């Protein structure tokens, strides 16, 4: 049995490890075009700020360690150029020697992930404008901070990565501005909950420029300022582009594999694609929203690991199923934990639910005990059934506990 895996981060390594645990004899080859595999994307902001000390702390396994631990042929700096499903083969290039070769597989798992959206905004080629996706991106960012001593960071995009990096840049001693085209930060929350995060960011001296897109980057050789659509000039000698990611589906699409309505690779619960013996998992693949039953694309490491394990199990003859997601997520933004699960009220309405909302402002523990902190909770119910279909919780302490309970309740 020959198993090929394209991509070596969360989904790819989870799939490879699971396949090896199930089948000691199979030949397993993992192709990765980058030089690193098996790292914690989620840890990159903390590596940059040095809250997590050292690059090696975000690398779960080096390619050599992973190869040895699981007896897998790890081919880093090898890019797969083409999938030929008709003769079950891959064309791949060794990026160091430029040699192109062919590999015949019995089962293939595509875990090509996602890439940052890099909009062609005038001036984007200036120095010190960077995305953040890989450890190499984080190295670049860290080098700029360590060697070029920037003073002012501008983050374009107020999603999860943008706001985690606001904290990271502050930790690294930079002034921080966030430019966001939408009226509020964190579109995964309702406006009211986003406003709580906005107040906190302002308390932490983050300059929020909302409801305003970027029209150009200006500077001589390196970026010096960001000019917005309304004409504001935001000074910055380091820019993080964090306006979102898109699934890497080119290889799959060219091989005739069906994409779903979200634009990611369509898969069933076994992680099978439309082509026989080809599976897909992680940020390149769709999932299912467990509440609406609709295809969903929510690129998170937690889902990538689960889908990867499911694919690894099934290519070795197993019967695992990944039923879907509740879009549960939690992030730390300075002193706040910000979490959500299920549907927002607006999403519930779009999906035909008659929703009822409950808002609770409370505290995290009994009042007689010191160090009380505020908790803001918003729950969304289906009026017909009284079932909980969504929730968001924000607070300094205890938000994680509440969102875990609520997501478990919804799932059940």
Among 67, 83, 209, 251, binds ligand FAD (CB under 6 A): 251
Whole-number Cα distances in Å, 25 to 71, 261, 304, 400: 10, 38, 25, 41
Among 113, 150, 324, 390, binds ligand FAD (CB under 6 A): 113
CA distance 296 to 300: 12
Whole-number Cα distances in Å, 249 to 2, 11, 116, 207, 234: 23, 15, 13, 36, 35
Rg value, the chain, Cα = 22
Helix (H, G, I), strand (E, B) or coil at 352: coil
Q: If binding is defined by CB under 6 A, does position 301 make contact with ligand FAD?
A: yes
State in angstroms the smallest separation of the CB of 355 from ligand FAD.
Answer: 26
Burial 161-200 (b: 16+ CB within 10 A, else e): bbbbbbbbbbebebbbbbbbbbebbbbbbbeebbebbbeb
Which is nearer to ligand FAD, 6 or 72 (by Cβ)?
A: 6
Q: Which stretch binds ligand FAD (CB under 6 A): 7-15, 54-62, 143-151, 217-225?
A: 7-15
Which position among 40, 42, 126, 210 bears the catalytic label?
Answer: 42
Q: Which stretch binds ligand FAD (CB under 6 A): 66-74, 106-114, 142-150, 232-240?
A: 106-114
State in angstroms the smallest separation of the CB of 402 from ligand FAD.
Answer: 18
Query: Which residue bears the tokens 């080629």?
Result: 125
The secondary structure of 79-102 as a DSSP string is EEEEEEGGGTEEEEEETTT--EEE
Among 4, 5, 7, 196, binds ligand FAD (CB under 6 A): 7
User: Residue 225: enclosing H or E segment and its boundaries?
Assistant: strand 225-228
Q: If binding is defined by CB under 6 A, does position 399 make contact with ligand FAD?
A: no
Among 3, 4, 5, 10, binds ligand FAD (CB under 6 A): 10
284 part of the active site? no
Which is nearer to ligand FAD, 144 or 227 (by Cβ)?
A: 144
Q: Are 181 and 151 in contact (CB under 8 A)?
A: no
**Positions 65 through 94 that interact with ligand FAD (CB under 6 A):** 79-80
Short-list 300, 295, 282, 288, CA closest to 325: 288
Q: If binding is defined by CB under 6 A, does position 45 make contact with ligand FAD?
A: yes
CA distance 74 to 6: 10
Count of residues engaged in binding ligand FAD, rule: CB under 6 A: 33
Which is nearer to ligand FAD, 111 or 310 (by Cβ)?
A: 111
Among 18, 20, 33, 378, binds ligand FAD (CB under 6 A): 33
Q: If binding is defined by CB under 6 A, does position 111 make contact with ligand FAD?
A: yes
Active site residue ranges:
42
Chain residues that interact with ligand FAD, rule: CB under 6 A: 6-12, 31-34, 41-42, 44-45, 79-80, 111-114, 132-133, 161, 248, 251, 282-283, 299-302, 304
């Amino acid at each position: 049995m020959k198993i090929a895996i394209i991509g070596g981060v969360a989904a790819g390594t989870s799939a490879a490890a699971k396949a090896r645990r199930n089948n000691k004899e199979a030949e397993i080859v993992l192709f990765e075009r980058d030089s690193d595999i098996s790292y914690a994307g989620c840890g990159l902001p903390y590596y940059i700020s040095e809250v997590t000390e050292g690059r090696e702390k975000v690398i779960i396994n080096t390619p050599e360690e992973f190869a040895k631990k699981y007896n897998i042929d790890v081919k880093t700096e090898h890019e797969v150029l083409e999938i030929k499903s008709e003769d079950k083969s891959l064309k791949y290039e060794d990026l160091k020697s430029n040699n192109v070769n062919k590999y015949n597989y019995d089962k293939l798992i595509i875990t090509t992930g996602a890439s940052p959206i890099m909009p062609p905004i005038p001036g984007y080629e200036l120095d010190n404008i960077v995305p953040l996706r890989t450890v190499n991106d984080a190295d670049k960012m860290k080098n700029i901070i360590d060697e070029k001593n920037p003073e002012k960071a501008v983050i374009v995009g107020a999603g999860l990565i943008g706001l985690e990096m606001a904290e990271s840049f502050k930790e690294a001693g930079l002034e921080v501005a966030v430019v966001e085209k939408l009226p509020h930060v964190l579109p995964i929350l309702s406006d009211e909950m986003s406003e709580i995060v906005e107040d906190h960011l302002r308390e932490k001296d983050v300059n929020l420029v909302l409801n305003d897109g970027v029209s150009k980057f200006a500077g001589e050789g390196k970026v010096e300022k960001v000019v917005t659509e309304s004409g504001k000039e935001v000074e910055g000698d380091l820019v993080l582009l964090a306006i979102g990611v898109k699934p890497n589906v080119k290889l799959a699409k060219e091989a005739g594999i069906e994409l779903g309505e979200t634009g990611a690779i369509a898969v069933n619960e076994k992680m099978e694609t439309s082509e026989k013996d080809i599976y897909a998992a992680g940020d390149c693949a769709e999932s299912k929203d467990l509440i609406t039953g609709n295809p969903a694309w929510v690129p998170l490491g937690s889902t990538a690991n689960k889908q990867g394990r499911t694919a690894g199990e099934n290519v070795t003859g197993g019967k695992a199923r990944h039923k879907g997601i509740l879009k549960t997520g939690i992030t730390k933004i300075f002193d706040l934990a910000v979490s959500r699960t299920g549907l927002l009220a607006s999403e519930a309405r779009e999906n035909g639910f008659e929703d009822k909302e409950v808002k609770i402002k409370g505290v995290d523990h009994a009042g007689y005990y010191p160090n009380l902190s505020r908790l803001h909770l918003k729950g969304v119910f289906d009026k017909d059934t009284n079932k909980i279909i969504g929730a968001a919780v924000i607070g300094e302490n205890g938000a994680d506990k509440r969102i875990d309970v609520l997501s478990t309740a919804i799932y059940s």
